[in-house]
Structure 1
Amino acid sequence: MPLQQQKHLFDIPEDICYLNTANLSPSFKSVETAGITSVLEKSRPYKITGYHFFDAVTELKKEFAKVINAKDYNRIATIPSVSYGLANAAENITLQKGDEIIIVEEQFPSNYYVWKKIADRYGASIVTIKQPEDREHCGDLWNEAILEAITEKTALVTLGNIHWANGLVFDLKAIRQKSRQHNALLIVDGSQSIGALPFDVNDIQPDALVCAGYKWLFGPYGCAYAYYGSYFDNGIPFEENWSNRLGSENITGLTHYQPEYKPLANRYNVGESGNFINVSMQIEGIKQVSQFSPKDIQTYCHSITKDAVKELKDIGFYVNKDEQRAKHLFGIEIPKSIDGEQLRMALAEQNIYVSFRGNYIRLSCHVLNTKADFDKLLRCIKSVMTLV
């Protein structure tokens, strides 16, 4: 049976048209309940046990491992942000002078600054692959340009599964194959795709995957996840905290200082990873979103957006081809005939929430949305056009 809208799982007022999950997801009601319950538990700290600090974190890792089809949850680290996960990776990468780090044009800043820092440290360079001007074949040409740029000088390729602003899909499997031929690392930012777009860590085999948890995994702000492959198995985390050491569950023996880390990615967990309020909300968010397959989410999002996309194109907006972009997140370019600020004001007045990215509007949807949301968006846009 095709996936149906699930607005009843959220506390979204009927007059609100929220097309901005790519910015910040609303909470499932179950996530809200988990958070409130945990806040109340803090009022009675004598009821908080070792489960909250250790077992719950393990449960969370197992849930995220299922999402990306990781065989070993010990390859998952719970972290507070994408930048944290990337920083741990960067601290364990040594470059040679003249090495190249490949990124794509207008990549999200967190996946640029960290690499610029180590490039400067080692005398390496950042190679930015620009978005092709040929709109008709933009996605294919961009992927071709990335593959051509990978050479014997390439030490690292780092990018998202999709472009965070316009939704164009990158061919990670082909990029992985080419990067491996040149012994280059592949690090993926899955913040705008994991949970909403099919992804199998065994298929892509990245050296690391980092992912914000407050977007398509519906966790609270301040949560993220990282998967680290074998390259990082014996790395040194840039933060030392007691809970990442072997045997840390034995609270009475903490001052018997332990030189060994817990296995694999556990060493990269953030300090206070057992934040039981945050963790309980994360678990509920992932459990709920895991009830919908990413493939079904893509099909559902396409079904509620396809008519609007066709009409937007008819009235002068530019949208990338369906086969080149994600269906849960995509950009629409505002025609020069429309006053962008006037459109922004009109959307706000009608309680339509989107993201503006330069001359583009980024639209993002999920099971909380319906075709009626996009009909409302169209009516608003057309009302502004009649004023020109």
Structure 2
Amino acid sequence: MSLKQQKHLFNISEDVTYLNTASFSPAFKSVEAAGIGAIRRKSSPELRQASDLFEPVIKLRKLFAQLIDEDDYNRVVTIPSVSYGMANVANNITLKEGDEIVIVEEQFPSNYYIWENLAKQYNAKIVTVNQPDKPKDWNGLILEAITKNTALVAIGHLHWANGIVFDLKALRKKTNEHDALLVIDGSQSIGALPFSIKDIQPDALICAGYKWLFGPYGCAYAYYGSYFDNGKPIEQNWANRLGSENLSGLTEYQSQYKPKASRYAMGESGSFIYVKMQIAALEEILKINKAEFQDYCHSISGDALKSLSEIGFTSDNPEVRAKHLFGIKIPNSVDTDLLKQTLKSHNIHLSFRGDYMRVSCHIFNTETHFKKLFSVLNAAVNG
């Protein structure tokens, strides 16, 4: 059965054309209700139990593990941001002088600054693979950049600005051949694009939670493979130590961390309001078949993108990019600042990234939204 539009699950106004989930997702009604319920619970602190700090978090971790096809929830942990998760990765990597870290052109800052800092620390080198004229050739160039000097490949599942999908299986194979780590930023793909830890087996997967996972701003998730099982977390908090569930024994200081990814948990990971909202959000996302979701996004956008290309607003071939997130190249003749004002005046919301308009859609979007986008852009160009 094919996926249908589900606008009724959201409280988005009919006059709003929201094509910007890649920046911030709206809230499912169920997520909004979970947040309100959690806030109200704050008014009755006497009802809260010590187990509330741990059991909901375990449930949340199990949901995220299910989402990424990981059997052991102890391999995943909740964190506050992608930069936090990447910092834990970098904190447990030792490089040699001349080692190389492979990234791609215009990578998201949270997946760049940490490696720039690590490279400076060890006098290593950042190798940036630029996007070629033909996007289909990009994966080949990345594979060529992985050599005996490569210590780490840090990359998204897809490019955050234009949606070009990277061949993670091929990258994993090549990094294994050179004993290099593979660290994936799944912020723009997990929850929207088919993905399996079992298929890719990355060393780490870090993912923002407020985009395609529909959680509140300030939540994220991390998967850490066996390489990091005995690592040192960047934060020393009481909750990531072994036996911390026994609140009456907290001053019997414990030198051991909880197993596997649990050692990388942030302080106050049991955040009562956020966790309730995140659980509700992942329960909604797990209902969506990701392959069907990709097909749905393509079905509502395909005709409009074809029409847009005829007036100079071009996008990459769907065979090399994601269907839920893609870039539309702005013609050189178009005043971008004026275009932004025009879209805003018509209540159309998307992002501008370099030479692209970045469009991202979900199950609350319909073909009508893309027809409106074409109509406004066509009028802006042709009057």
Read off the aligned partner of 1:203 and give its amino acid letter: D
Candidates 285, 298, 302, aligned match of 2:298: 302
Residue 43 of structure 1: how far off its partner (Å): 1.2
Partner of 1:120: 120
CA distance in 2, matches of 1:72, 1:319: 39
Residue 194 of structure 1: how far off its partner (Å): 0.2
CA distance in 1, matches of 2:293, 2:355: 27
Q: Is 1:100 aligned to residue 96 of structure 2?
A: no
CA distance in 1, matches of 2:368, 2:268: 43
In the alignment, structure 1 segments of 5+ residues that lack a partner are: none
Partner-residue secondary structure (3-state), 1:102: strand
Residue 370 of structure 1: how far off its partner (Å): 0.3
CA distance in 2, matches of 1:305, 1:318: 13
Residue 50 of structure 1: how far off its partner (Å): 2.3
CA distance in 2, matches of 1:115, 1:386: 45
Candidates 160, 163, 166, aligned match of 1:167: 163
Partner-residue secondary structure (3-state), 1:324: coil
Q: Is 1:43 aligned to residue 39 of structure 2?
A: no
Moved over 4 A (4+): none
Residue 309 of structure 1: how far off its partner (Å): 1.0
Partner of 2:331: 335
CA distance in 2, matches of 1:102, 1:297: 31
Partner of 1:249: 245
CA distance in 1, matches of 2:276, 2:348: 30
CA distance in 2, matches of 1:51, 1:257: 20
Residue 342 of structure 1: how far off its partner (Å): 1.7
Residue 83 of structure 1: how far off its partner (Å): 0.2
Read off the aligned partner of 2:171 and give its amino acid letter: I
CA distance in 1, matches of 2:49, 2:6: 35
Partner-residue secondary structure (3-state), 2:160: coil
Partner of 2:89: 89
Partner of 1:4: 4
Candidates 308, 311, 330, aligned match of 2:307: 311
Partner-residue secondary structure (3-state), 2:54: helix
Partner of 2:20: 20
Read off the aligned partner of 1:220 and give its amino acid letter: P
Candidates 224, 229, 234, aligned match of 1:233: 229
In the alignment, structure 2 segments of 5+ residues that lack a partner are: none
Partner-residue secondary structure (3-state), 2:362: coil
Q: Give the count of matched residue pairs.
A: 383
CA distance in 2, matches of 1:270, 1:346: 42
Partner of 1:378: 374
After superposition, the C-alpha distances for 1:133-187 in whole angstroms (9 at most, x for unaligned) are: x2xx31x211000000100000000000000000000001001100000000000
Instruction: Report if aligned partners of 2:158, 2:164 keep a CA contact under 8 Å in 1.
Output: yes
CA distance in 1, matches of 2:86, 2:271: 21
CA distance in 1, matches of 2:69, 2:212: 16
Partner-residue secondary structure (3-state), 1:325: coil
After superposition, the C-alpha distances for 1:333-358 in whole angstroms (9 at most, x for unaligned) are: 01122221221111100100000112
Read off the aligned partner of 1:349 and give its amino acid letter: S
Partner of 1:224: 220
CA distance in 2, matches of 1:263, 1:38: 29
Partner of 2:200: 204
Q: Is 1:274 aligned to residue 281 of structure 2?
A: no
Residue 318 of structure 1: how far off its partner (Å): 1.7
Instruction: Report if aligned partners of 2:305, 2:314 keep a CA contact under 8 Å in 1.
Output: no
CA distance in 2, matches of 1:219, 1:294: 18
RMSD of the TM alignment (CA)? 0.7
